[in-house]
Structure 1
Amino acid sequence: MFKKLIFTFLGFVLVSCSPETQPKPSGELRLEYPQPNYQAFSSPCNFTFEYSDFAKIENAKNACWYYIYYPKMKAKVFITYFPIKNDFALHVKESEKMVYEHTIKASSIDTKSFSYPERKVFGNFYELKGPTASNLQFFVTDSTRHYVTANLYFNSRPKPDSLAPAIEYIKKDMLHLIDTFQWK
């Protein structure tokens, strides 16, 4: 009986001396997207620009309205074209209304104006921070005849932390789009 007691005691000692189990550290999702190669898009609606080959351009409901679709990110940049007919101020006001409707959810809204007089390309680029429905928006105009707006939307709940890599990637693409934008 004494032998059984000693073997049991030694068994407990051997088992209890194993290293303590440690909880695994929480893993972070790492999203990597390919370096973009840009290709030209020419609209029959009097404008051209370059967009990433990581995206596809699809026609939207109306003529001169397009989606730049990022299938792996489940994101769309909705592009709309309007001819200006003595309603330039109305278009600018509507674009700003679309941006500032997000002030309820946005933690900040960064506005950057751009101007390329040699190409007659002017406008504003808006970056909305926080859990907003649209994180990036811009408008481009020649101030006399043409007006284009663009809004980024994801097919998911607005979670800024998890969407941040995709937003940054698309932001670079949208800024490249603006830099290469031209009227016909």
Structure 2
Amino acid sequence: MFKKLIFTFLGLFLISCSEEAKPKPSGELRLEYPVAKYQTFISPCDFTFQYSDYAKVEKAKNECWYYISYPKMKAKVYLTYFPIHNDFDLHVKESEKMVYEHTIKASAIDTKSFSFPERKVFGNFYELKGQTASNIQFFVTDSTRHYVTANLYFNSRPKPDSLGPAVDYIKKDLQHMIDTFEWKN
């Protein structure tokens, strides 16, 4: 009886192992976001812009300060407005200081200047690469009366590989925001 049982298991073992076992390929997380549809935000602080309907604009603690929240991405763009009173250089230096404080962790900082003279919209767009706390920062000004800064932060540890798709999505939104930015006066 014991011999028959051994021969049966041995026979089943030889028959069942006809194909070589293959490991499963490792899967990558694929994040897809909806195509952005834009709506207009009109601030009582003399500026307007378009933002994605995937985000929402919220009032911050100070007047003329806002959060553009991306709840599903756990991201916020901190938007601050300052009127200029003979302190334009101070605002620019403060914006650049905020960017270059990240050089400790940044592997690169790409700076792009933009200028739309017909709308009196000028500024710099900074993209910070690497494990930085803020991935994108920019400022918009008319260089005489108005100054707006924006900083993108995620409510997570800075991991460029996993945050990459979200950063790219929000970057396009922010570039559209700059392209549609206008001063009321």
For residue 11 of structure 2, what is the aligned residue in structure 1?
A: 10
CA change 1:46–1:9 in 2 (3 A) is closer
2:70 paired with 1:84: no
CA change 1:156–1:11 in 2 (3 A) is same
Q: What is the TM-score when the length of structure 1 is the normalising length?
A: 0.94
2:150 paired with 1:150: yes
2:64 paired with 1:75: no
- For residues 134-173 of structure 1, the aligned pairs below 5 Å read 134-173=134-173
Q: Which amino acid aligns with 2:15?
A: L
CA change 1:72–1:2 in 2 (3 A) is closer
Alpha-carbon distance between aligned partners in 1 of 2:176 and 2:18, rounded to the nearest angstrom: 58
C-alpha displacement at 1:26, in angstroms? 1.0
C-alpha displacement at 1:6, in angstroms? 4.1
SS of the equivalent of 2:126 reads: strand
Q: Which amino acid aligns with 1:161?
A: D
SS of the equivalent of 1:21 reads: coil
- For residues 1-184 of structure 1, the aligned pairs below 5 Å read 4=4, 6-15=7-16, 17-184=17-184
C-alpha displacement at 1:67, in angstroms? 0.4
Q: Which amino acid aligns with 2:127?
A: E
**In the comparison of the two structures, how many residue pairs are matched?**
183
C-alpha displacement at 1:9, in angstroms? 3.7
Q: What is the TM-score when the length of structure 2 is the normalising length?
A: 0.94
Q: Percent identity?
A: 78
SS of the equivalent of 1:44 reads: coil
Post-superposition, which runs of at least 4 consecutive aligned residues in structure 1 deviate over 4 A? none
Structure 2's unaligned 5+ residue stretches are none
SS of the equivalent of 1:174 reads: helix
C-alpha displacement at 1:20, in angstroms? 3.6
SS of the equivalent of 2:106 reads: coil
Alpha-carbon distance between aligned partners in 2 of 1:131 and 1:181, rounded to the nearest angstrom: 29
Alpha-carbon distance between aligned partners in 1 of 2:102 and 2:9, rounded to the nearest angstrom: 68
C-alpha displacement at 1:12, in angstroms? 3.7
SS of the equivalent of 2:123 reads: strand
